[in-house]
Amino acid sequence: MNAGAFGHTVSENIVTVETLNNGKIKVYDKDECKFVYRGSRFLGARETVISATFKFETKPKDVISSAVKSYKELRR
């Protein structure tokens, strides 16, 4: 799945996804994952996602804290 909220999705930060299928490990890059709204190549597949690599922006602590507080208030 490609979960999302507040105009952003998990796939925006994915670099690679590692899966296990019939005892074999496969690594997919972001494009191979075929992310779409609320879906990906893994939805309903017989592969098990075992890890993912993410890349995030670095931001000042106060900016992150403010965003978290704002999102929590919106969720209530």
Rounded to 5 degrees, what angle do the CA atoms 2, 12, 22 make? 50
The predicted-structure confidence for 48-63, as pLDDT tens digits, reads as follows 999 999 999 999 999 9
The partner residues of 5 in beta bridges, in order of sequence, read 8
The mean of the pLDDT values for the chain is: 93
Report the 10 Å Cβ neighbour count for 40. 20
Which tokens in the block code for residue 58?
A: 């670095």
Q: Quick one: which of 46, 52, 54 has its CA closest to 22?
A: 46
Percent of the chain with pLDDT over 70: 100
Residue 55: closest CA among 20, 17, 27:
17
Read off the pTM. Answer: 0.78
